């Protein structure tokens, strides 16, 4: 079973080019965050290096046998012809004896990919590839590059070393240097549909119940990565509370007070942050079902909720008061909202 879900068309496009007579040397792998671009790019690199070195692989997709010697080197980040540029851990000394594949997922990273990392490519480019005629440089992501590093990389894109393929991941390609974009072939990844989201999330969370799964799919908005960030936070409970408040107006302030108290504790920080994301999203979803004056009210509520949620963490607003205020905006969607206590 392929680990990549929902991107068959773009993967097929790359593989067709890879097996063609003249493959483009630079690919811009663009799309929203959390849709699987990095996983797909790594799988593409792995398949390409395996096919280039042999033995011949069966099948037309991305799957590589677990015992394939080249594939195992790529998995271990020890393949000399597979170069990954990403933000390095801030404390590299503590990880000096740790294999890269065993680095903690939550390790604190530097803010940018720096120019020294790009300059280090020069020594590699001076050598011929070790296992075949192919070499792959994967940048995850080029959005995180210092401007000086991006300019240094541009020189390699303008005069690519023989056999080198660049895979540049970008969440916001419009912000890149036009000179970089112009030298790349675009491979655009889209958000996943609900069916693909369900498959991806069940693979990562096999024990999840259907109610929470549906809540994660809604919150993820086509991005499994975003949805997984909400896992274990009882989004279904938050959504149920929003629906109850929007339906009845919470005229006695009971529901919003209960939420404010439960989300105000330090131990609830992650769920509070999820709440800040979900409240405006819930109002936006409700707006889609309204017309006329009700739509205008919902749009005003969304604008206010979006602004408040955006500033809540940045300005260190009191969590309980913020939750109470956001729930008040949700309550304003109720049919009898004029009776709701603000």
Please, which residues have CB within 8 angstroms of residue 96's CB and are 6 or more apart in sequence? Answer: none
| Element containing residue 86 per DSSP (H, E) | strand 82-86
The helix, strand and coil proportions of the chain, stated in percent and rounded to the nearest 5, come to 55, 10, 35
The 10s digit of each residue's pLDDT in 75-127 is: 999 999 999 999 999 988 888 888 888 898 888 999 999 999 999 999 999 99
| Per-residue pLDDT at 153 | 94
Q: What pLDDT score was predicted for residue 1? A: 40
Cis peptide before 141 (omega within 30 of 0): yes
pLDDT of residue 254: 93
Helix axes 8-18, 37-53, angle to 10 degrees: 30
State the pTM of this model.
0.84
Which runs of consecutive H residues, i.e. helices, occur in 254-340?
A: 254-263, 269-287, 292-314, 319-331
Q: Taking the CA of residue 329 as centre, how many other CA atoms within 13 Å lie in the half-sphere pointing to its CB?
A: 27
pLDDT tens string for the chain (342 positions)? 457 888 989 999 999 999 888 899 999 999 999 999 999 999 999 999 999 987 778 777 888 988 899 999 999 999 999 999 999 999 888 888 888 888 988 889 999 999 999 999 999 999 999 999 999 999 998 999 999 999 999 999 999 898 999 999 999 999 999 999 999 999 999 999 999 999 999 999 998 999 999 989 988 889 999 999 899 999 899 999 999 999 999 999 999 999 999 999 889 999 999 999 999 999 999 999 888 998 999 999 999 999 999 999 889 899 999 999 999 999 999 986 544 444
Sign of torsion, CA 77 78 84 88? positive
Q: In 3D, which of 110, 183, 121 has the Cα closest to residue 145?
A: 110
pLDDT at position 322: 96
């Amino acid at each position: 079973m392929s680990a990549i879900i929902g991107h068959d068309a773009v993967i097929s496009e790359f593989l067709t080019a890879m097996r063609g007579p003249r493959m483009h040397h630079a690919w811009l792998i663009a799309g929203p965050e959390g849709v699987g671009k990095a996983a797909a790019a790594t799988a593409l690199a792995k398949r390409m290096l395996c096919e280039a070195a042999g033995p011949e692989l069966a099948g037309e997709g991305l799957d590589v046998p677990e015992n394939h010697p080249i594939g195992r080197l790529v998995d271990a980040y020890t393949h000399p012809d597979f170069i990954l540029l990403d933000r390095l851990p801030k404390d590299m000394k503590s990880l000096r004896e740790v294999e890269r594949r065993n680095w903690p997922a939550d390790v604190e990273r530097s803010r940018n990919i720096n120019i020294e990392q790009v300059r280090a490519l020069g020594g590699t480019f001076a050598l011929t590839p070790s296992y075949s005629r192919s070499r792959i440089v994967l940048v995850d992501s080029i959005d995180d590059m210092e401007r000086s590093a991006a300019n240094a990389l541009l020189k390699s894109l303008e005069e690519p070393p023989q056999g080198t393929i660049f895979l540049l991941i970008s969440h916001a390609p419009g912000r890149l240097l036009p000179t970089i974009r112009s030298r790349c072939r675009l491979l655009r990844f889209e958000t996943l549909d609900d069916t693909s989201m369900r498959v991806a999330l069940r693979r990562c969370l096999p024990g999840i119940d259907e109610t929470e799964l549906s809540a994660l799919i809604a919150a993820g908005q086509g991005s499994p990565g975003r949805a997984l960030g909400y896992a274990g936070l009882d989004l279904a409970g938050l959504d149920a509370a929003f629906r109850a408040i929007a339906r009845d107006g919470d005229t006695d302030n009971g529901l919003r007070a209960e939420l404010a108290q439960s989300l105000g504790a330090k131990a609830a920080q992650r769920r509070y942050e999820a709440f800040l994301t979900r409240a405006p999203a819930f109002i936006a979803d409700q707006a889609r079902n309204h017309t006329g004056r009700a739509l205008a009210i919902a749009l005003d509520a969304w604008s206010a909720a979006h602004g408040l949620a955006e500033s809540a963490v940045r300005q260190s607003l009191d969590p309980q008061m913020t939750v109470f205020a956001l729930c008040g905006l949700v309550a304003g969607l109720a049919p009898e909202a004029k009776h709701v206590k603000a």
